[in-house]
Amino acid sequence: MSEAEASSRVGLGDRDHMLGWLMLGPSLIYIAALVGLPFFLAIALSVTSATVGDPSIHGFVGLGNFVQVLHESAFPLALRNSVIVTLGTLILTLVLATAESELLVRDFRGKRLLQILLILPWAMPVSLAAIDWLWLLDSEFSPVDWLLRHMHLLGPGSPLGPANHLYYYGKEWLGLGAIVMINVWRLLPFATIIVLAGRTSIPRDIFEQAQVDGAGFFRTLFSITLPALLPILMVASMFTALLVFGDMAVTALTTRGGPGYATQVLPYWAYLKGIDGGALSEGAAVALFMFPVLLVGAILALRMAYRTDSQGDRP
């Protein structure tokens, strides 16, 4: 125990402890009441037959709702799509955020203006971003289709097919791809800020030394920058993954889960079942399927962050 630490232990009297709990108390009570309680309510709901018309928790049905939900044809699709959209967004966002932070770590003229332009997507509420992209990839008036037609990539006798439009949101894989793109677009500024925080903390002399040693750009990137960034990349991926996995706005406003259930995701399906369809208990059961996935993801990310940290040269 260092001297400073010892003295702080001495200073930590009973009154400090009291003050500590007083300062922490309100947050703890708030979180217990509005995260803890509803979490257990969600579990309780999921084993009953509650509906919007009769929302009280009675009529115990055990795991009936889970079994019921598991047997629906939408379930495997919703789970698959949630995982695909989350992983796809995560990988693309991390790669792009690392590249973007590598550019923004340098100083250049007009950087402030560029920072404003680059943060634009993140300043937009998710639902409005989804609507923006719905119009951008409209079935008839999409300017992307227009550009493709003018480059002779789309339209009769062209590589992308004879149709004049791609109908992004009407197709399974194009729809999922579009949902991934929207998520990458809206979360890239956020991820870049986090990665940039890690990037600017890497001491400059390491890079100078590497340059003296004759390491090229990619050598430096893979043996210095990326290993040093790993802990912060884990933080960035946790936040990105949570924001994507838990989001229903993008799907709800673009493909609406269709065609059929081809692009359905768990959160939107839970909403459709629980609120729109009125089967609160089944909706809660669907939502609860998300928890183990999130838990496993978080544990993996935290373990990796810890491992890289303990191997680092911290004192």
Partner 1 sequence: MMPVLRRLGFYLGLLLFTLFAVFPIVWMVITAFKQDADLYDVANNPFLYNLPPTLKHVTFLFTGTNYPVFLWNSLFIGILVVIITLLLAVPAAYSLSRLVGHWGERSGIAIFLVYLIPPTLLFIPLYQIVTFLRAANTVWALVLVYPTITVPFCTWLLLGFFKSLPRELEEAALIDGCSRWQAFVRVALPLSLPGIATCIVFAFALSLSDYIYATVFVSSAASHTVSAGVPTELIRGDIYYWQSLMAAAAIVTIPLAVAYGLLFDRLVKGFQSDSAGSEATP
Among residue numbers 223 through 262, which ones bind partner 1 (CB under 8 A)?
Answer: 231-232, 234-235, 238, 242, 245-249, 252-253
Instruction: Provide, rounded to whole angstroms, the least separation between the CB of residue 95 and partner 1.
Output: 12
CA nearest 249: which of 125, 88, 67? 125
Is the bond preceding 189 in cis, omega lying within 30 degrees of 0? no
- Token pair recorded at residue 213: 């040693």
Q: Does 75 bind partner 1 (CB under 8 A)?
A: no
d(CA 58, CA 77): 30
* Helices of type H across the chain: 3-11, 14-31, 37-46, 64-70, 74-104, 111-123, 126-136, 143-150, 172-201, 204-212, 217-220, 226-245, 249-253, 266-271, 280-288, 290-311
Q: Does 15 bind partner 1 (CB under 8 A)?
A: yes
Q: For partner 1, which residue of 125, 161, 227, 260 counts as binding (CB under 8 A)?
A: 125
Question: Does the footprint of partner 1 cover residue 23 (CB under 8 A)?
Answer: yes
Q: Which of 49, 51, 68, 127 binds partner 1 (CB under 8 A)?
A: 127
Answer yes or no whether residue 311 interacts with partner 1 by CB under 8 A: no
20 near partner 1, judged by CB under 8 A: yes
* Residue carrying the six token digits 């809206």: 186
Q: Which is nearer to partner 1, 14 or 205 (by Cβ)? A: 14
Scanning residues 198 to 217, which ones bind partner 1 (CB under 8 A)? 198, 200-201, 217
d(CA 247, CA 244): 5
**103 near partner 1, judged by CB under 8 A:** yes
Q: How far apart are the first and last CA of the chain?
A: 13
The tokens describing 217, both together, are 């750009």
Is the Cβ of residue 204 or residue 314 nearer to partner 1 in the bound state? 314
- Residue placing its CB nearer to partner 1 in the complex, 91 or 114: 114
Q: Which C-beta is closer to partner 1: that of 54 or that of 173?
A: 54
CB of 209 to partner 1, least distance (A): 19
Considering only residues 63, 76, 115, 208, which one is a binding residue for partner 1 as defined by CB under 8 A?
115
